[in-house]
Structure 1
Amino acid sequence: MTAPGSEKALRLQNAADPFHRLKEITAILREPDGCEWDRAQDFHSMKEGLLEEASEVVAAVESGDPENLKEELGDLAFLVLFYCRLAEEKGLFRAAEVYEAVSDKLVFRHPHVFGDLQTSDQKEILKNWEKLKEREQRARGEEPRFGEKTGHLPALIRADKIQSKASRKGFDWKRGDLASIFSVLRSEIDELEAELGATYEATDSPLSDMRRDRIEDELGDLLFSVVNLGRHLAVSSERSLHRSTEKFIERFRRLEEAASTEEVNPFGIENEAERLGALERLYQKVKSDRGH
């Protein structure tokens, strides 16, 4: 009698290529004598893992490490096939249909590559992409609605995507008109400041729902305008904020290290004004030590 493990190993040896080998591994993990953990998963239980793996791909891109990127792309590819396997088990669709559908969609939406459309202008390509997407929706009996299917995105990415969509429909600032964008930015800052009032102080007392909504509205308008500026500068607001957050983390760690070597650790000063003053002086020193 052949051992179960040997049978599984033979199935992997007979896989036609790496893609089919991974697909076979995914199937084996879900089978009755497979992995109990994998067998216990469903569409919903794997959502967080899917988001985590996608984030790790992004982190690998940022790291510039090709080996790390290869590994993280593999993890993400496995989850795509895992979801396909779950769908196959429920009789919803086959993995092959997923790849066939996306292939057909890419060919349809690239008529400048696979068809007769003559253009190499990126803005024109994106405009045509949106038109073809809307045509697909109408063919399915759906009426396209601006901004739909974007609510799941991180806020900065969603704002940039929405602004870009509006721009492709012709609603945007004139290219290079940064003066107008900065004017709007200043106006939004003024509106937020006016809403807060000259005597506003953050306290432990909860804000009324109406007051919180008004402040969130004004702060949101300001952030939306900042994203607009980044878009016109061809700079990702999401990536910019991520870089600044990482920079602050690195500086704050050095601040903590420097504070621990002080005769009196500034973090331990009870007087708020003195503590903040001492920490600010030390923070500026930490910044200047690295040149920025």
Structure 2
Amino acid sequence: MTDKEQDPGAAVTEFAGIVRRLRAPGGCPWDARQTPETLKTYVLEEAYELVEAIETGDPEKIREELGDLLLHLVFLSDLYRERGDFSLTEVAEGITAKMIHRHPHVFAGEEAKTREDLRRIWERAKAQEGKTQKKAALDQVSTALPALVQAQRLGEAAARLGFDWPSVQGALDKVEEEWQEFRRALTAPPHDAREEELGDLLFALVNVARFLNIDSEGALRRTIFKFIKRFNVVERTLVKQGKTPETATLEEMEAIWQAAKKQ
């Protein structure tokens, strides 16, 4: 490992200077027009692209996507610096102080022998920072999270307060109950009950994932990736046969799909 790899300070400082130059007079008109509001969507896109890169396991892609996300974090910090609110340095100082405060078992000699000890220390630190005051327990879970992530965090928060099944069997029974209610909603009016019952079923499945320590968002993303990969095989195979999904029969595509599953 080189000194440059050990200390990113100089590279980050240079990069922050480049961002400032882009927004300065004579810089890039597009960059100069940006505001925190206009950058929100880009931040989300880059975060998801980073997640996608991580799932590929390709270090080069991950490095590139980390850089793209870093751009937006530095960019946003500079926008607020221009307003006189805070600087990138203050952002780094703030998160440094927060991590030290929330890890007294690392930096202050406090003992943490179990996962429950770690959770207790973390929650106590957040309370001291005022993060948990004036909020109901479930209100602390961000509504901006993807739905599956939010559902799992809500289940975890409720469980910490004792509102949970004794074992995973209770969660599985709830899935069966919600499945039957969804089936009934498919054949009985009102039809808008279908959406509600489907939501209940999805929430119940997320609770099963929580009991099994499965990341429901990650599990679904991996299934989506698997579906895309297999359907791409279907399309490529059909092209070799001089066909397309539009011209092939369902039986032909299903046969290729089953073959792709075995690869």
TM-score by length of 2: 0.85
Partners of 2:58 and 2:29 in 1: CA distance: 33
Rounded to whole Å, the distance in 1 between the matches of 2:47 and 2:97 is: 24
Superposed CA deviations along residues 84-138 of structure 1, whole A, max 9, x for unmatched, are: 1100111111222111111111111112212243113224312432232233227
2:204 equivalent among 200, 225, 248: 225
Q: Does 1:241 align with 2:220?
A: yes
State the partner residue of 2:137: 146
**Distance in 1 (alpha carbons) for counterparts of 2:32 and 2:234:** 48
The reply on whether 1:82 has 2:53 as its aligned counterpart is no
The gaps in structure 2 that reach 5 residues or longer are 1-7
Number of residue-to-residue matches in the alignment: 255
Q: Structure 1 residue 67 and structure 2 residue 67: aligned?
A: no
Match of 1:187 in 2: 177
Cα offsets for 1:211-263 (capped at 9, x unmatched): 42x22221111111111111222211111111111222222333345556779
Structure 1 residue identity aligned to 2:185 = E
- 2:28 pairs with 1:35: yes
Give the partner amino acid of 1:186: E
Q: Alpha-carbon deviation of 1:58? A: 0.9
Q: How far is 1:153 from its partner? A: 0.6
Q: Which runs of 5+ in 1 are unaligned?
A: 1-14, 201-209, 270-277
Give the structure 2 partner of residue 291 of structure 1.
262
Q: Secondary structure at the match of 2:37?
A: coil
C-alpha distance after superposition, 1:161-215 (max 9, x if no partner): 11122223333333xx3322211110110111122227x8xxxxxxxxx642x22
Question: Does the residue aligned with 1:44 lie in a helix, a strand or coil?
Answer: helix
**Does residue 112 of structure 1 match 2:83?**
no
The residue identity in structure 1 corresponding to 2:204 is S
CA distance in 1, matches of 2:9, 2:51: 30
Residue type of the partner of 2:77? C
Which shows bigger deviation, 142-151 or 77-86? Answer: 142-151
Structure 2 contact 238–245 (Cα < 8 Å) conserved: yes
Is the partner of 2:130 in helix, strand or coil? helix
CA contact (8 A) 1:134 1:144 kept: no
Structure 2 Cα separation of the partners of residues 69 and 155 of structure 1: 25
Change (3 A) 1:101 1:33: same
Kindly name which structure, 1 or 2, has the bigger radius of gyration based on alpha carbons: 1
TM-score (norm 1): 0.77
1:279 lines up with 2:250 in the alignment? yes
Deviation larger for 234-243 or 142-151: 142-151
SS in structure 2 at match of 1:234: coil
CA distance in structure 1 between the aligned counterparts of 2:172 and 2:68, rounded to whole angstroms? 42
Residue 186 of structure 2 is matched in structure 1 by 196
3-state DSSP class of the match of 1:17? helix
SS at match of 1:137: coil
Are the aligned partners of 1:60 and 1:72 in contact in 2 as well (CA < 8 Å)? yes
| Mapped pair 1:54 → 2:47 | yes
The secondary structure found in structure 2 opposite 1:46 is helix
